[in-house]
Amino acid sequence: MSRPPAQATPEPALTAFLTAHELAGPGEAAHWTPLAGGVSSDLWRVDLPGRSLCVKRALAKLKVAADWQAPVSRNAYEWAWMRFASRHRPDSVPELLAHDPEAGVFAMAFLPPERYPMWKAQLLDGEVRVPTAAAVGELLGALHAAGAGDAALAAEFATDDNFHALRIEPYLLATAAAHPALRDILQGLADRTAGTHLALVHGDVSPKNILVGPSGPVLLDAECAWYGDPAFDLAFCVNHLLLKALVVPARREELLQSARVLAEAYGRCVDWEPRPALEARAASLLPALLLARVDGKSPVEYLTHDRDRLFVRTAASALLRAPAPTVADVVDAWATALEAPTGTGSSRPDRPD
């Protein structure tokens, strides 16, 4: 939630949203600043006399190069997921202030970056704290356990169409189209994931959506919330730690250890199914998501060199063809590939800037 210096002018509907929900008085001065965020929504910091808040609005067309459309109704599911999380772990989400489901807009508390730094920024800066990863794993596992086997939640979050548009198609199916030799494997993972309904899933547990707060991790951006396969969330988060181990070689060991402890802390919370079954699904999804961040519809912006993208393609493809039984095994295989003489150019002194 960093704050760029310039103010922009919001649409009248957004200012009307504030007054309609009594978040701002009529005529009260409001300073609107667009925040750098993800690709799927507009996010604003709104400064009012003596207080600040955030306003989020879902977009019908996501801000990526590929044509990626998604229903704005996901804003309502994000709001509902955050309400769920606040009931079970109040410090795990910002305070919720107001919601307009028809407009696809809600307001929440603004969390200042000096107290709530973004985990992604810390990791890319080489500020890697393994206990933070353990706390993320424990929080994610606890929330999955709280929502597992709940028929009411399953009915409320029957968002299969949203999840297909936001995750299955752009990550698994788009990657399958880019890799015909792996199409059957990726299609099988897509079908299995779509057909698994065990717990309430966040859907975007990425370090860019995790703030490191004084009372523990704070989760943001639950637009993909879905009653489905909890293994997806685990694999999605560990995926980012493995990719960062590729591009932050000076903290590689700490990043790999973070991936291991996150998965272990998460696993201790698994009580809704046999842990080996969940581990196997997460471990087989993990290389598919690694490959998707190179050749899917939402490639990570920090893999800027061909040698790094080639490394991901090679290592992920091998793991897709010979799936590992646990997340820890995937991490070990990734670490072994990174240590190979031709594994990656990221740590070589001749790497171009």
Same domain, 101 and 160: no
Same domain, 99 and 64: yes
Same domain, 231 and 89: no
Q: Is the per-residue pLDDT at 252 higher than 80?
A: yes
Average pLDDT along the chain: 90
Same domain, 280 and 245: yes
Q: Does residue 95 sit within a domain?
A: yes
pLDDT at res. 117? 97
How sure is the predictor about 235, in pLDDT bands with cuts at 50, 70 and 90? very high
Same domain, 123 and 224: yes
Residue-wise pLDDT for 82-100, tens only, equals: 999 999 999 999 999 999 9
Same domain, 91 and 130: no
Q: Enter the pTM of the model.
A: 0.90
How sure is the predictor about 62, in pLDDT bands with cuts at 50, 70 and 90? very low
Same domain, 159 and 305: yes
Q: Within 13 A of 295's CA, how many CA atoms are on the CB side? A: 26
Query: Domain of 197?
Result: 119-339
Averaged over 239-259, what is the pLDDT? 98
Domain end among 57, 88, 109 = 109
- CATH number, domain with residue 287: 3.90.1200.10
Same domain, 223 and 291: yes
Residue-wise pLDDT for 267-303, tens only, equals: 999 999 999 999 999 999 999 999 999 999 999 999 9
pLDDT at res. 337? 97
pLDDT at res. 11? 75
Same domain, 200 and 233: yes
Q: Which of 69-83, 142-156, 244-258, 323-337 has the lowest mean pLDDT?
A: 69-83
Number of domains in the chain: 2
